[in-house]
Amino acid sequence: MYKNIFIVGFIFIQMLLSVYNKKNETASTHINTVNDLSDKDTTQQIFWKELTLLCGKSFEGSIIAGPANDTTFAGKKLIMHVRKCTENEIKIPFFVGNDSSRTWVLTRTDNGIQLKHDHRHKDGSPDKVTKYGGHTSNFGSKIRQIFPADQETAEMLPAAIGNVWWIDIHPGESYIYNLRRVNTDRLFSVRFDLKKPVENPGPPWGWKD
C-alpha cells in the first residue's frame, strides 16, 4: 500500500516539474524576444538618431583607405551634406570636387535599415548605374550598421555581389563610409570630421526639395 502511495506521489511530482519547466521555457522565450526587440531599439534607433542630429550640416572628409591608383577621389575636396531627414529617410549628398552626382539614401524599413546610392547626371537624369546598395542583416551596433549587397545590386552589377558597405558614426568625432568587396583586396573608406562643420554646398544634381 505504502509502495503504491509512493509511486503515485512520485508521478505527481514529476507532472508538477514538467508543468514548471514548460512555464520557464515560455518565459525564457518571451524574455529572449523582448531582449531582441530591446537590442534593436538600442542599436538601430540610436544609430538613426545620431544621423538625424547631423541634419542640415556639412562636413569635410579624407580618404583613409583606397586603391593606390585612384583618380576619382584623390586630391579632391570631399564634402558630405546631411541635407534631408524625415522619420524614415535620410539623404546625404556626397560631393567630390565639382562632381555633385552622388547621394547616399538611408531608409528605415520593417526589417532594419537600407542603404542606396543615387547617381545623377548634370541634367538631373538618373545614371544607368544607380540605386545599388544593401540592407542590414542584423541589428548592428550603436555606432556601426552593415549593408551586404542586395539582389537588385547583384542583378545590376554582378561583380558587386560580394560588396559590403558599412557606416560608422562616432558621435562628435567622425562619420566613416566604407566599402569592402569580399574575397578581394578592394577596400574604400572615407572619414568625415564631425568636430568641424563646413559651409553647406549647393544642391546635388537632380535634387528636388
Q: Of 36-40, 42-46, 84-88, which range is least confident?
A: 36-40
CA dist 65 and 75 (Å) reads 14
Look up the CATH number of domain 50-198: 2.40.128
pLDDT of residue 68: 85
pLDDT of residue 208: 73
Average pLDDT across the chain, whole number: 86
pTM > 0.85:
no
Instruction: Return the SS3 of 77.
Output: coil
Listed by start position, the domains of the chain span 50-198
Per-residue CA distances from 203 to 61, 84, 116 (Å): 18, 11, 18
Q: Is the pLDDT of residue 1 over 70?
A: no
Phi first, then psi: give them for residue 165, nearest 5 degrees. Answer: -100, 150
User: Between 195 and 1, where is the model more confident?
Assistant: 195
User: Between 115 and 185, where is the model more confident?
Assistant: 115
pLDDT of residue 83: 97
CA dist 170 and 161 (Å) reads 28
